[in-house]
Amino acid sequence: MKIRKCTPIVALDVTDLDSAVSIVNILGGSISWYKIGSVLFTKEGPSAVEAIKKFGKNIFLDLKFYDIPNTVAGAVKQCVRLGVDMLTVHASGGKNMIERAVETSKEYAEKEGGNPPKIIAVTVLTSFDENDLKDDFGLNAPLEDITKKLVSVVMQAGADGIVASPNELKMLRKIFGEDLTIITPGVRPVWSQKSDQKRVMAPAQAKKDGSDFLVIGRPIIASTNPKKSAEKILDEIRKAGNEQ
């Protein structure tokens, strides 16, 4: 298995811009990627992205678009204009929707003279289990089969990557190879609390199993010393895979 760089993305899971900016200030040069999700974005709007971009940081905009292809394409255009670096769509939006997102990202970035945001698809939400799939969608298949089916659709549509649980990393790398970008939340250093995450993995293991980006929220932003926690995690990631 190829050992990747494995970059941490700090989840700005706060409700106002001042708190978000304060986290970015505290972490300084240690962290280069930040995730802005629906809570902060709904409260502060595009200015949340603009403010963090001013620090020269990369933005992962996690709004999980799911709509008709034309509407998703329109939203992707606005992400290009904002200078977003990666964004999420739902894989269950289907091949046409994802294809339009990918095409729009490339075409509009070329037109505007920026970099195309990477299109990342969310497969099955971790809040879903097999019973929900059966009860809500009438799907009688194992969760892993649905995930695999959705990842193959995502790849056919030309998307850059997926969000996956760290526990799925080995299986996904084996089936889908090394080129797919895989982003994993649910990462916890051993010294940190699990909070409400049920299936967690340490950063070093997630790197070894093939993760490209680790989304980490509370172990850093809720820590009594966020900078020190971020440095500890970075150190753990740097060392992983270089032991032999």
Question: Which residues participate in catalysis according to the annotation?
Answer: 64
Residue 11 interacts with ligand C5P (CB under 6 A)? Answer: yes
Rounded Cα–Cα distance for residues 57 and 175 (Å) = 33
> Residue 239: in which H helix or E strand, if any?
helix 226-239
37 near ligand C5P (CB under 6 A): yes
Please, which residue, 64 or 100, has the CB nearer to ligand C5P?
A: 64
- Name the 3-class secondary structure at 23: helix
C-beta of 69 vs 210, nearer to ligand C5P: 210
Q: Does residue number 182 form part of the binding site for ligand C5P (CB under 6 A)?
A: no
Q: φ, ψ for residue 147 (rounded to 5)?
A: -60, -50
Return the residue nearest ligand C5P (CB atom): 217
Structure token digits, residue 49: 């992205």
For the chain, give percent helix, strand, coil, nearest 5. Answer: 50, 15, 35
Contact pick of 215, 230, 233, 237 for ligand C5P (by CB under 6 A)? 215
Amino acid at the residue 63: L
Task: Give the HSE-up count for residue 53: Cα atoms under 13 Å, Cβ half-sphere.
Answer: 16
**Contact pattern for ligand C5P over residues 119 through 148, marking x by CB under 6 A:** -------x----------------------
Q: What is d(CA 191, CA 58) in angstroms, rounded to the nearest whole number?
A: 27
Q: Which is nearer to ligand C5P, 188 or 208 (CB)?
A: 188
Residue type at position 149: K
Q: Stretches 104-112, 113-121, 133-141, 214-222: which one binds ligand C5P (CB under 6 A)?
A: 214-222
Number of other residues whose CB lies within 10 A of the CB of residue 84: 25
Does 223 sit near ligand C5P (CB under 6 A)? Answer: no
Tell me the C-alpha distance between 76 and 70, whole Å.
10
Considering only the stretches 20-28, 136-144, 170-178, 209-217, report the one whose residues sit in contact with ligand C5P under the rule CB under 6 A.
209-217
Residue 231 C-beta: closest distance to ligand C5P, Å: 17
Residues of this chain that bind ligand C5P (CB under 6 A): 11, 13, 37, 126, 163, 185-186, 195, 197, 215-219
